[in-house]
Amino acid sequence: MFNKKSVEDIKVSGKKVLVRCDFNVPLDGETITDPKRIVEALPTIKYLSSNGAKVILCSHLGRPKGEFNAKYSLKPVAAKLSELLGKEIAIASDVIGEDAQAKAAALKDGDIMLIENVRFHKEEEKNDPAFAKALASLAEIYVNDAFGTAHRAHASTAGVADYLPAVCGYLIQKEIKIMGDALEAPQRPFVAILGGAKVSDKIGVINNLLEKVDTIIIGGAMAYTFKKAMGGKIGISLCEEDKLDLALSLVKKAEEKGVKFLLPVDSKATTAFSNDTPVIVCDSDSIPDNYMGLDIGPKAAEEYSNAVKDAKTVIWNGPMGVCEFSNYEGGTRAIAEALASSDCTSIIGGGDSAAAVEKLGYADKITHISTGGGASLEFLEGLELPGIACLNNK
Ligand code: AMP
């Protein structure tokens, strides 16, 4: 049960409100190539402003390594916000310095401003209490709406809540509601699709989901660690040798729980990590010695698509193959197509699979694409996210 206070549970009129957003947008020079994260923050910003709050927005952008670097300035975000909100959004030239303080003090009810990149201070990622206190001193209320960094205990994502009443914004509320409902009371069959590079990144998620789902579908490079653990010949496919026992224990746990555990029956394989070497299709259990599996094969794609078609709830994290290469995007595309044509509740846990679905043009057919790759993985693992744990309970 999500029992955290939201912006609607606190009086914001006339109050200075510090809002942690996730404005970590992709940039090409000073041009924002995808404004999704800014757009997702608008409902909270508009609510606060139209209810008379003095809104102070903050975020990180990239990795400026704890010092000022114009390359990571939030100025392009301020310009985009001005465009989207139809009014000039001022940006302070610092984070907690004189300009930020003066601009914050001069705000009128309904005004919106931005302070500079919180990662211009090395204290941000260290969750330094003095820095968190200085940030807090700009405002009277703290709102966290940055789901993408909610798994980090940084000064602006968690520490600041020690000094101010702390509530969530609409984006965090939406993310937690949709994923929480799926985990707690899913419509069945409930299918989890996990792909990507490493089993080690997904152990916690597989363990937690084995308690909840009817079927787990495995793709990506991590399928080969499972295949090898079960006695298959995987050629030179990626494999985590030190995770073979663990892989077997997960397969056994699935059996004990009555969870269907699907591994790819076939693979597309080649001789180098390249889009230019000839492709073969082979059984995933008998990949030739000098070949590596880079995508699930057509039989696996069909089996997985059918499992998706029968499902009522699907959670997906991680591509089925090296979808950056056109020769190996087929498995990921098949899953995206099956999800797009199904009326199930479909949830994509951010990161590479979200990017792939967007690139392939199916994003608007998906129920929910999470704005946080790392955060959604930790949520699916059943972990408490520090940026949410720090908020006031209802
Ligand atoms: P992750 O960040 O764990 O979700 O992994 C995503 C990455 O896994 C992507 O960059 C894919 O290229 C890579 N990947 C997926 N399948 C394979 C594979 N069979 N072999 C090597 N890399 C893969």
pLDDT tens digit sequence for 202-219: 999 999 999 999 999 999
Q: How far is the CA of 195 from the centre of ligand 1 (A)?
A: 7
pLDDT of residue 331: 97
Query: Could you tell me the sign of the dihedral formed by the alpha carbons of 364, 169, 36, 147, in that order?
Result: negative
Pairing state between β 31-32 and 112-114: unpaired
Entry pTM? 0.90
Q: Residue 200 and residue 68: Cα distance in Å, rounded?
A: 35
pLDDT of residue 352: 85
pLDDT band at 351 (very low <50, low <70, confident <90, very high): confident
Q: What is the pLDDT of residues 155-168, one digit of tens each?
A: 999 999 999 999 99
- The separation between CA 194 and the C-alpha centre of its own chain, rounded to angstroms, equals 14
Angle at which helix 330-340 crosses helix 351-360, to 10 degrees, equals 80
pLDDT of residue 80: 98
Q: How far is the CA of 376 from the centre of ligand 1 (A)?
A: 18
Among all chains, which residue has been given the structure tokens 């997702």? 40
Q: Residue 366 and residue 357: Cα distance in Å, rounded?
A: 9
pLDDT of residue 350: 74
pLDDT at residue 201 greater than cutoff 90:
no
Segment 351-357 mean pLDDT: 87
- Identify whether 333 is a catalytic site residue: no
pLDDT at residue 32 greater than cutoff 80:
yes
Q: Kindly compute the dihedral angle of the four CA atoms of residues 58, 59, 64, 66, in this order, to the nearest 10 degrees.
A: 60
Q: What is the pLDDT of residues 266-307, one digit of tens each?
A: 999 999 999 999 999 999 999 999 999 999 999 999 999 999
Q: Residue 393, Cβ neighbours under 10 Å: how many?
A: 6
Q: Residue 99 and residue 262: Cα distance in Å, rounded?
A: 57
3-state secondary structure of 54: strand
Catalytic residue among 321, 351, 372, 387: 351
- Paired tokens of 272: 């180098």
3-state secondary structure of 276: coil
Segment 116-127 mean pLDDT: 98
Q: Say if residues 46 and 17 touch (Cβ distance below 8 Å).
A: no
- Identify whether 351 is a catalytic site residue: yes
pLDDT band at 310 (very low <50, low <70, confident <90, very high): very high
Q: What is the pLDDT of residues 168-194, one digit of tens each?
A: 999 999 999 999 999 999 999 999 999
Instruction: Identify the weakest region by mean pLDDT among 128-137, 287-296, 354-363.
Output: 354-363
Query: Could you tell me the sign of the dihedral formed by the alpha carbons of 184, 186, 191, 193, in that order?
Result: negative
Mean pLDDT over each residue of the chain, to the nearest integer:
96
3-state secondary structure of 136: helix
- Paired tokens of 226: 């499972």
pLDDT of residue 290: 97
Segment 77-85 mean pLDDT: 97
Among protein residues, the one with the nearest Cα to ligand 1's atom 11 is 322
Q: What percent of the chain has pLDDT over 90?
A: 93
Q: Residue 312 and residue 293: Cα distance in Å, rounded?
A: 30
Pocket test for ligand 1, best of 206, 222, 237, 294 (most atoms within 8 A of CB): 294
Among protein residues, the one with the nearest Cα to ligand 1's atom 6 is 196
pLDDT band at 95 (very low <50, low <70, confident <90, very high): very high
Long-range contacts of residues 352-359, Cβ cutoff 8 Å, at least 24 apart: 352/196, 352/318, 352/319, 352/323, 353/195, 353/196, 353/316, 353/317, 353/318, 353/319, 356/319, 356/323, 356/329, 356/332
pLDDT of residue 1: 73
